[in-house]
Amino acid sequence: MSTSQGESPSPSQGLGQSHSRSQGQSQGHPQRWLILGVILLATLTVLIDNTVLNVAIPSLTEELDASTADIQWMINAYSLVQSGLLLTAGSAADRYGRKKMLATGLVLFGVGSVTAGLAQSATQLIAARAGMGVGGALLMTTTLAVVVQIFDETERVKAIGLWSTVNSLGFAAGPLLGGVMLEHFWWGAIFLINLPVAVLALVAVLKLVPESKNPQGDRPDLLGAVLSTIGMTAVVYAIISGPEHGWTSLQVLGSGAVGIAVLAAFVRWELSIEHPMLDMHFFRNERFVGAVAGAILVAFGMGGSLFLLTQHLQFVLGYEPLEAGLRIAPMALSVVALNLVGVGARIVGKVGTPAAIALGMTMLSAGLAAIALFGGGTDGGYGGMLLGLVVMGAGIAVAMPAMANAIMSAIPPEKAGVGAGVNGTLSEFGLGLGVAVLGAVLNSRFAALVSVAAASLPAALASAESAGERARITDAFASGLETSQLVGAIAVLLGGLLAAALLRRAERADSAVTVAA
């Protein structure tokens, strides 16, 4: 059956049953590398928008009068909506057409980018970012599906490796691109630059990408998507609001309780329907549980650390946006360089998945701790931060391939599409959770050290009556950054060791079953 017509192969066929393919299919699509370039460009744009906003925090604080909580929601609205819709977007693409959903995602992402770039208030920007998250969800699920569709088994590993490298580059390159744009333009330009990319990618997709779908696939679990998005949003809202309203306030406890209740309803709903968005029985598999824990915490460490680092470099050390982006770039360069030479995959093959995850997460934790302890505070140099960033990048390059391998190996081949959706969902949720939790730790520590009624550091400095008071406020903010980075380091380390232990135990159990058989 040709991939340019009607239905596509089933997931299990796509993962190795090449004998069922025709000779034409086994050679892949004739324009596959050109299509891959277009897909990688669209993917890069979506991923950059996860972190590009970090360096614009001072500009948004000043020009939109945004509080720290507003900034957190500007960042989290995108990742939370995207994470809530990834699984459903994948199901919709399988059922209604991957090319169709990819084009729809590009249109929604482009419209959302224009709306965000022209926003006049924090509320408008948050809403626009949520709309961009819908488009991003369609793009992230369908791009990988198209890669699998157009490449045969002999080239697919290389193609997915390039896709994974762009994922890492896109996440870490956001602050650098944002810094370049803010050096020459106003903050809205970091969103408007997406428009020509979206238009170019849309034209290329419509012209080059073959349509494929599986009409017999599972119907989209719309209620599951709504419940998961509402539940995660409510929980993160409680975390973000805690320092401002008090952890025992009705607003915080109420939103937290609603979030937990809705997530519980989501679990119950998924267990009761024939074709769930996320098969909850996967969580009986220790290998899957270990991989889930690790994937969330890798993203937690990356998202939270970038949120803190950009504020450290700009608010505390006084760097301009471009200077801050350039100083964060070594983490991106480390990830990309190590991924391109295949270090992570080789380590997994040599020491096994559990040990590779433990090593990668330990390095990520060590990098965070190095930044907290040797990052310079208010008057130190850049050397300690550089060391931490390089070590973090190396840890991410080792842990991410191992994590993806663990998730995919824990899910049956016929559910490979679900596995890819789970991986993306966990990453997006981890990013939002990292910003929320570590941002809450920062705000709590800052509020405990200074008794200034202000929603952000610039507002607190503006209310200071003397140079001595401004210095005390800046020192308190730096102390809050250090505390939150250390909390993130401890969480990543413990989570990584737990994930590795669960995976090791699952491997031993599988070996015992094999021996008995």
Averaged pLDDT, 152-170:
68
Tens digits of residue pLDDT in 18-50: 333 333 344 556 777 888 888 788 788 787 777
The candidate with the shortest Cα–Cα distance to 421, out of 126, 142, 153, 165, is 142
Of 251-260, 275-284, 377-386, 443-452, the least confident: 377-386
Q: Which of 454-458, 489-493, 512-516 reaches the highest mean pLDDT?
A: 489-493
- Partners of 7 in the β-ladder: 213
**pLDDT higher than threshold 90 for residue 233:** no
CB 165 within 8 A of CB 134: no
pLDDT at site 12? 37
**pLDDT higher than threshold 90 for residue 122:** no
**pLDDT higher than threshold 90 for residue 441:** no
Cα angle: 458, vertex 463, 468; to 5 degrees? 90
Tens digits of residue pLDDT in 172-189: 667 677 777 777 888 888
pLDDT at site 11? 37
In the DSSP assignment, the letter for residue 410 is: H
For the record, the structure tokens of 446 come out as 């800052």
In the DSSP assignment, the letter for residue 15 is: T
Average pLDDT, the chain: 77
CB 445 within 8 A of CB 485: no
For the record, the structure tokens of 87 come out as 């699984």
| Helix or strand (DSSP H, E) at 299 | helix 286-311
Contacts of 257 (CB under 8 A, 6+ apart): none
Averaged pLDDT, 433-453:
78
pLDDT at site 390? 92
High-pLDDT (> 90) share of the chain, %:
5
pLDDT at site 13? 38
pLDDT at site 29? 66
**pLDDT higher than threshold 50 for residue 374:** yes
The number of beta carbons lying within 10 Å of the beta carbon of residue 250 is 9
Q: What is the pTM of this model?
A: 0.69
CB 372 within 8 A of CB 305: no
Measure the CA–CA gap between 154 and 160, rounded to whole angstroms: 12
The candidate with the shortest Cα–Cα distance to 460, out of 468, 485, 269, 450, is 450
- Amino acid residing at 318: G
- Partners of 360 in the β-ladder: none
**pLDDT higher than threshold 50 for residue 285:** yes
Beta strands in 347-414, from DSSP E residues, in sequence order: none
pLDDT at site 40? 82
pLDDT at site 366? 93
pLDDT at site 172? 61
Measure the CA–CA gap between 250 and 228, rounded to whole angstroms: 23
Of 10-19, 293-302, 349-358, 405-414, the least confident: 10-19
Measure the CA–CA gap between 428 and 76, rounded to whole angstroms: 9
For residue 389, report the phi and psi dihedrals to the nearest 5 degrees: -65, -40
CB 370 within 8 A of CB 493: no
Q: How far is CA 358 from CA 343, 350, 419, 441, 516, in A?
A: 15, 14, 21, 25, 29
In the DSSP assignment, the letter for residue 210 is: P
Beta strands in 105-224, from DSSP E residues, in sequence order: none
**pLDDT higher than threshold 70 for residue 387:** yes
Averaged pLDDT, 476-488:
85
Contacts of 401 (CB under 8 A, 6+ apart): 164, 339, 344, 345, 348, 356
* Rg of the chain taking only CA atoms, in angstroms: 22
High-pLDDT (> 70) share of the chain, %:
82
CB 450 within 8 A of CB 472: yes
At which residue do the structure tokens 């989570």 appear? 495
pLDDT at site 10? 39
pLDDT at site 36? 83
pLDDT at site 456? 62
Measure the CA–CA gap between 279 and 267, rounded to whole angstroms: 9
- Partners of 213 in the β-ladder: 7
Measure the CA–CA gap between 492 and 111, rounded to whole angstroms: 36
The more confident residue out of 223 and 401 is: 223
**pLDDT higher than threshold 90 for residue 169:** no
**pLDDT higher than threshold 90 for residue 121:** no
DSSP per residue, 419-465: HHHHHHHHHHHHHHHHHHHHHHHHHHHHHHH-----SSHHHHHHH--
Tens digits of residue pLDDT in 329-373: 788 788 888 877 777 777 877 888 889 889 998 998 999 898 888
CB 112 within 8 A of CB 64: no
pLDDT at site 107? 92
In the DSSP assignment, the letter for residue 315 is: I
pLDDT at site 269? 92
CB 131 within 8 A of CB 108: yes
Measure the CA–CA gap between 476 and 424, rounded to whole angstroms: 36
Averaged pLDDT, 435-461:
74
Measure the CA–CA gap between 271 and 275, rounded to whole angstroms: 9
At which residue do the structure tokens 């209310």 appear? 463
Categorize the per-residue pLDDT at 154 as very low, low, confident or very high, splitting at 50, 70 and 90. Answer: low
